[in-house]
Amino acid sequence: MLVGKQSFCDYHSVQAAVDALERSGSAKPETLFILAGRYEEAVTIYRSDLRIVGIGNVEITMNRYAKERDEHGEEIGTFATPTLFLGGSRLVLDNLVIVNTAGQGPDIGQAVAVYAHCDQTVFRNCSFKGHQDTLFTGPLPPAPRERQSFGGIPLREHHAHYRQYYMNCYIEGTVDFIFGGATAYFEGCQIHSLNHAGEGGGYITAASTPKGQEHGYVFDACYLTAEPGVSGVYLGRPWREFAKTAFLHCRMGGHIHPLGWDNWNDPANEATVSYKEYVRKDAAIVRQERVPWAECSETGHEEERFRKEIVFAGTDFWKLINCVTDS
Write down the pLDDT at residue 150.
95
What is the pTM for the complete model shown?
0.96
Which helix (H) or strand (E) element contains residue 93? strand 89-94
Measure the CA dihedral 251/281/187/275, to 10°: -100
Average pLDDT over residues 254-266: 97
pLDDT in tens, 59-105: 999 999 999 999 999 999 999 999 999 999 999 999 999 999 999 99
23: which residues sit within 8 A by CB, 6+ positions away?
none
- Let me know if 176 is a catalytic residue: yes
Task: Tell me, letter by letter, the H, E, C secondary structure of 199-260.
Answer: CECCEEEEECCCCCCCCCEEEECCEEEECCCCCCEEEECCCCCCCEEEEECCEECCCECCCC
Answer yes or no: are the C-beta atoms of 295 and 277 closer than 8 Å: yes
Provide the pLDDT confidence category of residue 197 given band limits of 50, 70 and 90: confident
* Calpha distance 251→261 (Å, rounded): 17
Half-sphere exposure of 194 (CA within 13 A, CB side): 19
Average pLDDT over residues 256-285: 94
Write down the pLDDT at residue 148.
86
Provide the pLDDT confidence category of residue 327 given band limits of 50, 70 and 90: very low
Average predicted confidence (pLDDT) for the chain:
94
323 pLDDT above the threshold of 80: no
Average pLDDT over residues 268-284: 92
Which helix (H) or strand (E) element contains residue 97? strand 97-100
* Calpha distance 189→206 (Å, rounded): 17
Write down the pLDDT at residue 137.
98
Provide the pLDDT confidence category of residue 322 given band limits of 50, 70 and 90: low
Average pLDDT over residues 209-232: 97
Write down the pLDDT at residue 304.
86
293 pLDDT above the threshold of 50: yes
pLDDT in tens, 131-160: 999 999 999 999 998 888 999 999 999 999
Write down the pLDDT at residue 147.
82
Nearest to 89 by CA among 117, 57, 68, 127: 117
Query: Of 176, 262, 266, 326, which one is the catalytic site residue?
Result: 176
Write down the pLDDT at residue 321.
64
Average pLDDT over residues 162-187: 98
Write down the pLDDT at residue 326.
44
* Calpha distance 226→211 (Å, rounded): 32
324 pLDDT above the threshold of 50: no
Write down the pLDDT at residue 325.
43
Write down the pLDDT at residue 174.
98
106 pLDDT above the threshold of 90: yes
pLDDT > 70: what percent of the chain? 97
60: which residues sit within 8 A by CB, 6+ positions away?
14, 39, 41, 43, 83, 84, 96, 97, 98, 99
Instruction: Walk me through the domains of the chain, giving residue ranges and CATH numbers.
Output: 34-313 (2.160.20.10)
